[in-house]
Amino acid sequence: MIAGPEEPLLAELRRILTTIDPVPERVLLTARTAFAWPATTDEVASAPMADDLFRLVCAPGVLDGAPDGWVGTLLEVGELAVLTDDGGLDAITAVAHELDLVTVPLLRLEKTSEEQERTVMSYAATKPLVWIAESFGEEARAWAHERGPMTLLVDSNGPLSEDERRRVDRFVVILGRQAE
């Protein structure tokens, strides 16, 4: 992932993350601390986790080329589930290593694109959703428009462009402001 200057929206997201949970004994765990394997067998103390603000669903290739820390920052308030792509298990493993995750949720592969979309819709449940895919069918677009929780559909045929990442940033900042 490419390192670069922090964008204003990313700075706003970081500001929101520091004020989002008014209950002092609760903490937001980063992807690194939430899923890191303990270095020792000693008992590890932990505080209750704050609920994730949203779910992010995409293929691993979508995350290629993202600025250093961008995905990790999103995962401070959201959760990631991946869909398979041409990169297969190697691409999923690369994402896990890049984010220093021991596990990465994988949505099951379906026989048709319509069934795959229904699986993502089911996974979204009642959480806001950022769903990045090559394309979306009419059923998925109607579902996203009609459902209660906010939903961002991003059509992307590969790594996200800077403009697409900004759309995601704005969406997450809006969610964060609503949660304040």
Q: What is the mean pLDDT of residues 65-94?
A: 94
Q: Where are the alpha helices (DSSP H) in 22-137?
A: 31-35, 70-74, 88-98, 113-124
> Rounded to two decimals, what is the model's pTM?
0.74
Confidence of residue 53 (pLDDT cuts 50, 70, 90): very high
Q: In this structure, which amino acid lies at residue 21? A: D
Separation CA 106–CA 133 (nearest Å): 15
Least confident of 7-11, 65-69, 140-144, 145-149: 7-11
